[in-house]
A and B are shown apart, each in its own frame.
Chain A
Amino acid sequence: MTTSANLKPDRIRRHVDWKDVLFNIFNYTFLSLLVIVTIYPFYYIFIYSISDSIEAQKGVFLWPAGFSLEAYKTTVQLPGIADAALVTLGRTILGTIITVLSCSFFAYLITKNELPFRRLIYRFVLITMYFNAGFIPWYLTMKTYGLQNNFLLYILPTAISGFNIILIKTFIEQLPPSLEESAKIDGAGYFRVFTSIIFPLSMPIVATIAIFSAVGQWNTWFDNFFLVENPKLQTLQLVLYNFLNQSSSLSNMSTEQLTRGDMVRTLTPQSIRMTITMLVTLPIVLVYPLLQRYFVKGIMIGAVKG
């Protein structure tokens, strides 16, 4: 930094030239447009869902047309919705707990030098990230295990994940070994050491992984789509998907045809569709600030590992 010393101050000062100003204008405009393009669909769904259903058909753009919570009242009473919400919540909570516990305990075992064939076992598990038996073999294996039409299908296969294990192992390895040694001297076994020292100390990474997998569980539907027909075990995502397919094939019919019969007179399928979408999206949007923080942290640790 010897050069900066003998420089005249006027050369260091930032020159504001027209190119810079133009760039700023372009930059802010472009990024603002991007924000609008991203957020508008969510906003549109929201204002449509709280609009008066019939009014909304004339067009909703910036503000709700009228105000009515009728769509929400009807949607939560639709057959299957309550069960689906319970199943989705169940798989999100249980699936996350199982993944977090098994990945972190396994990652802890892998950090132990005394574990025979340590590297081999680690590789054996990690390599599963890079191959996939394919659709039909997966389908038939799950059927053989009796996981068809079984809630366990949602929460068991995701228990061990190579990516999570890398993250936790990397984290545990940078904890001071002295903590563990002192507990060992006090006579604690591996399991005790894990539950009372390692796991509590690993909370930052455990939280990251818990959120990773909770979002994954909430959003997953293909296992449901391919292997579960039982109406009591449907997930919210699939209920939405089925409803979308129905209404996209119905969208060519006139509204009159749709609203008569057992459909509630004052409610259009569009309103119901928007409302289900809102209900499925809302939890994600609500935990989003939390998500963003941990996700970014998680991807950083992953990036450091390479």
Chain B
Amino acid sequence: MTFTYAAKKQAADKKAKLFRKDGIKLLLMALPFVIFTIAFSYVPLFGWIYAFFDYRPGIPLDQTPFIGLENFRNLLVDPRMGPVLINTLALSLLSILMAPIPLLFAIMLSEVKTEWFKRLVQTVSTLPNYISWIIVFSLAFSMFSTEGAVNSIMMKLGIPGTPVDVLGNYDRVWTVQTLLLLWKSVGWSAIIYLAAIVGIDAEQYDAAKVDGAGRFRMIWHITIPSIMPTFIVLLLLSVSNLLSAGFEQYLVFSNVMIADRIEVLDLYVYRLGLVTGDYSYSTAVGIFKTVISVLLLFTVNALSKKVRGQSII
């Protein structure tokens, strides 16, 4: 007994010593990355302090009056806050409403039996995902400006009411932006569903065929239920991103005619901060957004844990 105990202890000691020496080495190697993460992701959080001061650019923070929660009280009475929130929520909800389209697209694509056509559609539809919003804007501008291709064609065909300024249309701005987002993202969003469809056990389809199920029944009873979990996870994630309606898209597409209805929360934060120069209030609005988003994420995650027994983050 004592012998084995001693041997074990010796081995454990040796291991612990090695562990410590190697551990320190590893820790030293990991340290630069940790410091880096702190510098670029955690240090900016200290900037939240500006929200509690009446900060003006150029004056050091220690000579700036502390105003406590005044900026957050202002947030509640800010007349611009209402429209901005409505824009943000409307655009987010519209894109959530579009969420089933990539799923339908994936199903339609998986029903194509001509291999080359399938590959062509998939390759082409994913391309817009890899280009920046600036290029999307340039393409959209060439298509839809009053001198653009679409208007020229419609005028040539003699369709009345043309040219239409699609990108400057105040009443249709949400629709136009949602369609642009759909154009850019549909192929990419479908990839994950296509992967899920490929992963479905072929025996299920064989069995259904044997039972006399047609194509639509198989889609309805096998394909859709199989990809539902993926759909739900993505849907929940998009709910947690409710307040983060795409900043770049709306910044790029904003113009005088539609600025009012396209100004989302992120854009407002930017305008308050860099255009108006109200750093403190802009930070407060940013904090409001971050806190709500993190809360939403936790809620959605808890919901997912409860319903599916699986967390999504």
Residues of A within 8 A of B (CB): 1, 3-4, 7, 11-12, 14-15, 17, 19-20, 23, 27-28, 30-31, 34-35, 37-39, 41-42, 44-45, 48, 59-61, 102, 105-106, 109-110, 112, 114-117, 121, 124-125, 128, 130-141, 145, 156-157, 159-160, 189-191, 215, 218-222, 226, 237-238, 240-241, 244, 248, 251, 270, 273-274, 277, 280-281, 284-285, 288-289, 291-292, 295-296, 299-300, 303, 306
What B residues does A59 contact at CB under 8 A? 152, 156
* Partner of A131 from B126, B273, B294 at Cβ < 8 Å: B294
A190 to B120, CA, bound (A): 45
Q: Is there contact, CB below 8 Å, between B210 and A7?
A: yes
Q: Is there contact, CB below 8 Å, between A281 and B131?
A: yes
Residue pairs across A and B with Cβ atoms less than 8 A apart, 30 shown, are A3-B210, A30-B108, A31-B112, A31-B121, A35-B120, A38-B124, A41-B143, A44-B142, A59-B152, A61-B152, A102-B36, A105-B33, A109-B26, A116-B24, A128-B41, A134-B47, A135-B269, A135-B273, A136-B283, A137-B283, A140-B279, A215-B130, A221-B134, A238-B134, A244-B137, A273-B142, A284-B130, A295-B126, A299-B195, A303-B192
Q: Contacts A38-B124, A215-B130 known; A280 to B141 CB distance under 8 Å?
A: no
Residue of A at shortest CB range from B271? A135
Q: Is there contact, CB below 8 Å, between B210 and A4?
A: yes
Residue of B at shortest CB range from A135? B269
Scoring B46, B142, B183, B195 by chain A CB atoms within 10 A of each residue's CB, the highest score goes to: B142
What A residues does B282 contact at CB under 8 A? 135-136
B13 at the interface (CB under 8 A from A): no
> What's the count of A-B pairs with C-beta under 8 Å?
245
B70 at the interface (CB under 8 A from A): no
Q: Is there contact, CB below 8 Å, between B44 and A277?
A: no
B89 at the interface (CB under 8 A from A): no
A42 to B124, CA, bound (A): 11
Q: Is there contact, CB below 8 Å, between A136 and B279?
A: yes
Chain A proximity of B210: nearest CB distance (Å): 5
Q: Is there contact, CB below 8 Å, between B47 and A137?
A: yes
Q: Is there contact, CB below 8 Å, between B214 and A20?
A: yes
| B interface, over-half SS | helix
- B22-42 toward A: CB 8 Å interface, digit per residue (1/0)? 111111011001101101111
A243 to B134, CA, bound (A): 11
* Partner of B145 from A37, A134, A189, A251 at Cβ < 8 Å: A251
Q: Is there contact, CB below 8 Å, between B274 and A41?
A: no
* Partner of A135 from B120, B143, B270, B313 at Cβ < 8 Å: B270
Q: Is there contact, CB below 8 Å, between A102 and B138?
A: no
Q: Is there contact, CB below 8 Å, between B127 and A136?
A: no
Q: Is there contact, CB below 8 Å, between B117 and A28?
A: yes
Q: Is there contact, CB below 8 Å, between A116 and B33?
A: no
A296 to B187, CA, bound (A): 12
* Partner of B27 from A116, A157, A285 at Cβ < 8 Å: A116
Q: Which of B4-12, B75-83, B284-292 contacts A (4 or more CB under 8 A)?
A: B284-292
Q: Contacts A41-B140, A139-B274 known; A11 to B212 CB distance under 8 Å?
A: yes
Q: Is there contact, CB below 8 Å, between B132 and A237?
A: yes
A274 to B147, CA, bound (A): 13
B263 at the interface (CB under 8 A from A): no
Residue of A at shortest CB range from B313? A130
A182 to B203, CA, bound (A): 44
Scoring A128, A132, A190, A221 by chain B CB atoms within 10 A of each residue's CB, the highest score goes to: A132
Interface size on B, residues (CB 8 A): 94
B153 at the interface (CB under 8 A from A): yes
What B residues does A160 contact at CB under 8 A? 33, 36-37, 40
What B residues does A285 contact at CB under 8 A? 127
Residue of B at shortest CB range from A42? B139
Q: Is there contact, CB below 8 Å, between B23 and A12?
A: no
B232 at the interface (CB under 8 A from A): no
Chain B proximity of A284: nearest CB distance (Å): 5
Q: Is there contact, CB below 8 Å, between A114 and B19?
A: yes
Q: Contacts A115-B27, A130-B313, A140-B50 known; A20 to B287 CB distance under 8 Å?
A: no
What A residues does B117 contact at CB under 8 A? 28, 31
Q: Is there contact, CB below 8 Å, between B156 and A19?
A: no
Q: Is there contact, CB below 8 Å, between A136 and B47?
A: yes
Q: Is there contact, CB below 8 Å, between B47 and A38?
A: no
Scoring A15, A31, A285 by chain B CB atoms within 10 A of each residue's CB, the highest score goes to: A31
Chain B proximity of A153: nearest CB distance (Å): 11
What A residues does B125 contact at CB under 8 A? 34-35, 38
What B residues does A114 contact at CB under 8 A? 18-19, 22-23, 26
Q: Is there contact, CB below 8 Å, between A288 and B127?
A: yes
Chain A proximity of B196: nearest CB distance (Å): 8
Q: Is there contact, CB below 8 Å, between B215 and A20?
A: yes
Chain B proximity of A43: nearest CB distance (Å): 10
Q: Is there contact, CB below 8 Å, between A248 and B145?
A: yes
A284 to B141, CA, bound (A): 20
What A residues does B126 contact at CB under 8 A? 292, 295
Q: Contacts A34-B125, A137-B46, A226-B274 known; A121 to B30 CB distance under 8 Å?
A: yes
What A residues does B164 contact at CB under 8 A? none
What B residues does A38 contact at CB under 8 A? 124-125, 127-128, 183, 187
Q: Is there contact, CB below 8 Å, between A277 and B30?
A: no
What B residues does A105 contact at CB under 8 A? 29, 33
Q: Is there contact, CB below 8 Å, between A115 and B273?
A: no
* Partner of A137 from B36, B50, B152 at Cβ < 8 Å: B50
Q: Is there contact, CB below 8 Å, between B286 and A136?
A: yes
What A residues does B297 contact at CB under 8 A? 130
